[in-house]
Structure 1
Amino acid sequence: MASLDSPDPRASFRAGLLVGLPFAVAGGLLSLSFGVIARDAGFSAVAAITMSLIVFAGSAQFASVAILAAGGNPAAAVAAASLMNSRFLPMGAALAPSLPGGRWKRAAQGQAVVDSSWAISIRPDGSFDRWKLFGTTAPQFLTWQLGTIAGAFGGDLIGDVDRWGLDAIYPAFFVAILLPELRDRDRIGVALAGAAIALALVSFTPPGVPVLVASVAALWGLRRRAIP
């Protein structure tokens, strides 16, 4: 295992900021659409903004709002959000050895994990550069809040989010995260297996289940890494 910290934490943080900017722009547009959709679903502007501030997870937020807008109860919305965010459990387990301090300090640092920052901060040896992770997340957190505020208060001006093509940003966002990982042949196989599992389940399972089950494909990658 490599050293917990980068030799130059400031440089790692700045590098994270730069690489996180494109994701921050995309995230800002996504949260803009979330603010509009949440208001259309009956949320107050304050409720939509508070949800983005506390949850800060697009898939969970959109799933919860969709359930509530369809007449579902709050318990079902919370369950869906929890299921969507369950992917952070294995991600956090992988990150934990690269974080210094006791369990509470590591837990606090782990709040900076989002999909893009987690993927970008992985080192070749499987450890994580925590300062790069912090830097990548920082602009995304800022634009996620600003986008939600703009959508929650300016929804009448924005109108139908599909008209602006904002619905296409979400899949493009995750493709951009995945592409750098596909330079390794084994990772391509894992990605294709995960995609096949998710596609097979998406039509008849609740939101979050396809992503969670598809993560089983990553076990093959772990097996390959364990073979000397």
Structure 2
Amino acid sequence: MADGSSEGTRATRSPTERQSWRQGLSVVLATSAYGISFGALAVASGLDVWQTCALSLLMFSGGSQFALVGVVAGGGAPATAIASATILGVRNTLYGLSVRPWLGARGALRIPAAQLTIDESTAVGLAQPDERARRVGFWVTGVGIYLGWNVMTLVGALVGDVLGDVRMWGLDAAAAAAFVGLLWPWLRSRQAVAVGAASAVVAAALVPALPAGVPVLAAVVVAIVVGWTNWLGRPVQPGPDEAEDAA
């Protein structure tokens, strides 16, 4: 009976919902693995295991967490570390404004929705062609990364010494590759290519000079400005077939 019920549930999912599940889970795997890096680096910077895990459980924002740990490791004051993390966390508020129209979180559901509104859940949600698929993508990605990120943070904190320099593993590149996969189906017009190229150039240029996460904020501003002007033509959204092929 359970197998039949499971097959029936899968059969009732639309192609766009199945697409959002696949994209969400692929991002979950890539991003969760990167949590090992945070756990190991946090402990190496002087935090204990419980403090490290508390940051992932409560803050749950990779850019903010790495910024805080970076300031602590560099000998900065706690107030400076908190301020840096808070500034980077402002972008999640902007994400909340963009997902609110289609997420439909009401009542008590707003609390987990706010906690799970991060780069990845927002990106997967916005990459879907209809509202139901967007909601599925958001929740699958948000819940999956929350669980995976916290588990891998604990793993990194416990075995960081054994792993050595986790930055050599290239886990950050895996997370970036997942984002490129989400972006690719949308690059079907000159305007979309211009937005992506301008944002990438700005982010790459600022990475060596600014704290972690700040280049992303700058790239978002550039994307908004270039996208708002729409001077290269109307942006084209990927249809279900193209997006599903990319997944």
TM-score by length of 2: 0.74
**Cα 1:197–1:138 shift into 2, 3 Å:** same
Which position in structure 2 is the counterpart of 1:91?
95
Q: Secondary structure at the match of 2:187?
A: helix
CA distance in 2, matches of 1:68, 1:170: 24
**Cα 1:50–1:180 shift into 2, 3 Å:** farther
Which position in structure 2 is the counterpart of 1:199?
204
CA distance in 2, matches of 1:155, 1:35: 7
CA contact (8 A) 1:14 1:135 kept: no
Task: For 1:132-151, list aligned pairs within 5 A.
Answer: 132-151=137-156
* 1:42-86 per-position Cα deviation (integer Å, ceiling 9, x unaligned): 111111111111122222111211110010111111122122222
**Structure 2 counterpart of 1:222, one-letter code:** W
Which position in structure 1 is the counterpart of 2:125?
121
CA contact (8 A) 2:27 2:120 kept: yes
**Cα 1:46–1:23 shift into 2, 3 Å:** same
Which position in structure 1 is the counterpart of 2:157?
152
- 2:191 matches 1:183: no
Which position in structure 2 is the counterpart of 1:45?
49
Which position in structure 2 is the counterpart of 1:169?
174
CA distance in 2, matches of 1:102, 1:22: 28
CA distance in 2, matches of 1:38, 1:108: 25
TM-score by length of 1: 0.80
- 2:59 matches 1:75: no
Q: Secondary structure at the match of 2:116?
A: coil
CA contact (8 A) 1:86 1:212 kept: no
- 2:28 matches 1:27: no
Q: Secondary structure at the match of 2:230?
A: helix
CA contact (8 A) 1:197 1:213 kept: yes
* 1:148-175 per-position Cα deviation (integer Å, ceiling 9, x unaligned): 1111112232222134333533443443
**Cα 1:203–1:209 shift into 2, 3 Å:** same
**Structure 2 counterpart of 1:89, one-letter code:** T
- 2:227 matches 1:213: no
Identity of aligned residues (%): 35
Which position in structure 1 is the counterpart of 2:58?
54
* 1:12-44 per-position Cα deviation (integer Å, ceiling 9, x unaligned): 776544322222222222111111111111111
CA distance in 1, matches of 2:162, 2:207: 33
CA contact (8 A) 1:98 1:129 kept: yes
Deviation at 1:138, TM superposition (A): 1.9
Which position in structure 2 is the counterpart of 1:4?
none
**Structure 2 counterpart of 1:27, one-letter code:** T
Q: Secondary structure at the match of 2:56?
A: helix
Count of matched residue positions in the alignment of Structure 1 and Structure 2: 219
CA contact (8 A) 1:120 1:133 kept: yes
Comparing 11-20 with 57-66, which one deviates more in the overlay? 11-20
- Structure 1 stretches lacking a partner, 5+ long: 1-7
**Structure 2 counterpart of 1:51, one-letter code:** L
- Structure 2 stretches lacking a partner, 5+ long: 1-9, 235-247
CA contact (8 A) 1:99 1:106 kept: no
* Regions of 4+ moved over 6 Å: 125-128
CA contact (8 A) 2:64 2:85 kept: yes
